[in-house]
């Protein structure tokens, strides 16, 4: 688009994070041919001729989103996600002859990076939290590190957070959006909307099978991680359920007696199970898994994480009987039906989101591409959110499920998410309740303004 105004015109397909690097060449990210999400860094001429691969992460679910070339065009900073979709530390690469490079900056989720004009400093916008890569709750601040192997130094502090950064041309200041991030859990019923979380950053709501409690994660500061809280639906009174035990995701057993959860241990994700009343400490069930759900009695269903591929798998709650449900790798795992018969996944050999039978491995396509879905606690409804990204997400569709069927009546091709739907719809990203008029949801916002931050 001309800088003086005018109509935009398509420049390149399958391309993001564009930077001009001189001599008619550009630097950008693209999704590898034959994959759905495997994004890496390439360079080419503006015509896309002479394209050359610079870096693709090993894992087929990992995504290198942004790349920043050093002033001398010899080095590269990369902002990337790992195979579980979590933001990682930034990566430093050589533009020529360095396929892997190394991580730089502080421990945490690196969201943006930049170079000083003389190339002597690297700058990072990083969410530092107890769980590496946990963006939703980690406090985001600015850091710097002397190139190539200095010690990371924090630049900004305090309750305000920074989002994004740019370096002034003279190298004497940074510009960033500085403000306050707020995330709270709300519930909706016949009386309307009301908040139930009062402090900290709240996320990941789940409604108990009897509809009397809402469970959710709360992080009060960046060093403590997210703890499990519960609120009574009727009174709204909230209390910590398992204080001092950090979690990344969780599920509550159908009888309301146990919680299964994922915790981060360094670079490894581990699955634990614990009684909700705190009568016994959490017990390790598995290393190398996340997005855990209760399945059939005595069983957990989860995403098994490996170095390059992920799988839908199951395991007994005592840690025995580990088995893959599908031999095809998956991208994401969603919910499991209350009777333990179906699990939701994205991928599994096709560019679609599908329900997989946990009995015989048969599948029902829910939609093309990515749509998140989960069941109501009694299995009477399936909740489907098409295009679940902040920029594209629509409302959540509520599909009735015939008793004993496990899934709604859908054609083999699934929902046409681009067409008007005959099903009722509610706001996106909801935690299903006993009926479509009862659910929990998250309100998130960042209120900030641009500030110039001097460098001393």
**Structure confidence by residue, pLDDT tens digits, 255-306:** 999 999 999 888 899 999 999 999 999 999 999 999 999 999 999 999 999 9
> Contact, 75 vs 147, CB < 8 A?
yes
* pTM, entire model: 0.86
Give CA–CA dist 411/431, Å, rounded: 25
> Using one digit for the tens of pLDDT, what is the confidence trace for 1-54?
999 999 999 999 999 999 999 999 999 999 999 888 899 999 999 999 999 999
List of residues 6+ apart from 33 with CB closer than 8 A: none
Q: What is the mean pLDDT of residues 220-246?
A: 86
- When pLDDT is cut at 50, 70 and 90, the band that residue 133 belongs to is very low
Residue 292's DSSP bridge partners are: none
Q: In the numeric block, which tokens belong to residue 273? A: 């199970």
Confidence band, pLDDT 50/70/90 cuts, at residue 124? very high
In 171-324, which residue ranges form alpha helices assigned H by DSSP? none
Q: What is the pLDDT of residues 161-213, one digit of tens each?
A: 999 999 999 999 999 999 988 889 999 999 999 999 877 789 999 999 899 99
DSSP state of 395: P
List, in order of start, the domains of the chain with CATH numbers. 16-171 (2.120.10.30), 183-445 (2.120.10.30)
User: What does the pLDDT read at residue 404?
Assistant: 87
Give the pLDDT confidence of 344-359 residue by residue, as tens digits: 999 888 889 999 999 9
DSSP H/E element including 260: strand 258-265
Dihedral over alpha carbons 31, 32, 34, 38 (to 10 degrees): -70
């Amino acid at each position: 688009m001309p800088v003086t105004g005018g109509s935009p015109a398509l420049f390149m397909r399958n391309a993001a994070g564009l930077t001009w690097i001189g001599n008619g060449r550009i630097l950008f990210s693209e999704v590898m041919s034959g994959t759905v999400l495997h994004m890496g860094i390439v360079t080419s001429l503006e015509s896309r001729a002479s394209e050359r691969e610079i870096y693709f992460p090993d894992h087929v679910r990992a995504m290198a989103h942004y790349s920043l070339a050093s002033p001398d065009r010899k080095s590269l900073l990369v902002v990337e996600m790992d195979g579980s979709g979590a933001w990682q530390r930034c990566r430093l690469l050589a533009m020529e002859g360095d396929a892997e490079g190394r991580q730089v900056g502080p421990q945490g989720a690196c969201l943006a990076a930049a170079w000083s004009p003389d190339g002597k400093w690297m700058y990072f916008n990083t969410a530092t939290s107890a769980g590496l890569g946990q963006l939703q709750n980690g406090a985001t601040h600015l850091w710097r590190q002397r190139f190539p192997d200095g010690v990371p130094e924090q630049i900004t502090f305090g309750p305000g957070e920074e989002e994004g950064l740019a370096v002034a041309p003279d190298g004497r200041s940074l510009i960033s959006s500085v403000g306050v991030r707020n995330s709270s859990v709300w519930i909706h019923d016949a009386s309307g909307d009301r908040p139930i979380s009062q402090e900290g950053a709240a996320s990941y709501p789940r409604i108990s099978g009897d509809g009397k409690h809402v469970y959710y994660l709360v992080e009060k500061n960046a060093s403590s991680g997210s703890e499990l809280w519960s609120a009574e639906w009727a009174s709204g009174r909230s209390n910590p359920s398992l204080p001092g035990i950090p979690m990344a995701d969780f599920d509550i057993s159908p009888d309301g007696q146990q919680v299964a959860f994922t915790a981060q241990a360094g670079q490894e994700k581990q699955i634990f199970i614990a009684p909700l009343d705190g009568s016994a400490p959490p017990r390790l069930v598995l290393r190398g898994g996340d997005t855990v759900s209760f399945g059939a009695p005595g069983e957990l269903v989860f995403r098994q994480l490996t170095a390059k591929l992920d799988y839908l798998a199951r395991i007994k709650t005592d840690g025995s009987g580990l088995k893959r449900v599908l031999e095809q790798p998956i991208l994401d795992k969603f919910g499991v039906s209350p009777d333990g018969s179906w699990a939701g996944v994205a991928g599994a050999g096709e560019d679609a989101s599908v329900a997989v039978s946990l009995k015989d491995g048969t599948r029902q396509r829910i939609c093309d591409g990515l749509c998140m879905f989960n069941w109501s606690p009694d299995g009477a409804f399936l909740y489907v959110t098409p295009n679940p990204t902040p920029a594209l997400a629509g409302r959540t569709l509520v599909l009735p499920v015939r008793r004993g069927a496990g899934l709604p009546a859908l054609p083999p091709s699934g929902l046409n998410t681009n067409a008007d739907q005959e099903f009722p719809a509610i706001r996106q990203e909801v935690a299903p309740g006993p009926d479509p008029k009862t659910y929990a949801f998250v309100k998130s916002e960042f209120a900030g303004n641009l500030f110039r931050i001097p460098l001393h």
